[in-house]
Amino acid sequence: MRALWHIIFAAFAVGCTPKSSTQVAPTATNSVVALDEAKVIAIARQAVTTNDTWVDRAIFKAARDGSGWSIWVWREPRTPGGDRTVLIDEKGRVTAYHRGE
C-alpha cells in the first residue's frame, strides 16, 4: 500500500512541475513590423478613436522618433488642448497617448 502512495505522489509531482520554456520562431505577431507613415497613422487613428470622440475631424502628422514613431494629432478647428501626441514603438504598439494642454 505504501508503494502505491509513493507512485501516486510521484505522478502528482511530475504533473505539477513547470514546463520548460521554448523559443518561439518569429511570426507576424511577435516580430518587428515594417512600419511606414500610413501604418502608424492608422494605428494613431485607432488610438484617437478609442480615447476621444473627434477622430472624424483629426489631422495627423507622423515623424520617426528613434526606433519608433511620434504622431501629432490635432482636432479641427484648432483649439487649445485639442491636440494629442501618440507614441508608437517599432512593433506598432502605442506606448503613450499624451493630451494637449
Per-domain residue ranges of the chain: 2-99
What was the pLDDT predicted at 32?
A: 60
- Summarised one tens digit per residue, pLDDT across range 36-76 is 999 999 999 999 999 999 999 999 999 999 999 999 999 99
Task: Tell me which of 14 and 79 has the higher pLDDT.
Answer: 79
pLDDT, residue 78, reads 94
Task: Tell me if 35 sits within 8 A of 88, measured CB to CB.
Answer: yes
What is the pTM (predicted TM-score) of this model? 0.67
DSSP state letters, 23-87: PPPP-TTTS-----HHHHHHHHHHHHHHH-S-GGGEEEEEEEETTEEEEEEEESSP-TT-EEEEE
Residue 6's pLDDT band (boundaries 50, 70, 90)? low
Residue 69 · residue 35 · CB < 8 Å: yes
Read off the pLDDT band of 23 (50, 70, 90): very low
The DSSP output letter for 94 is E
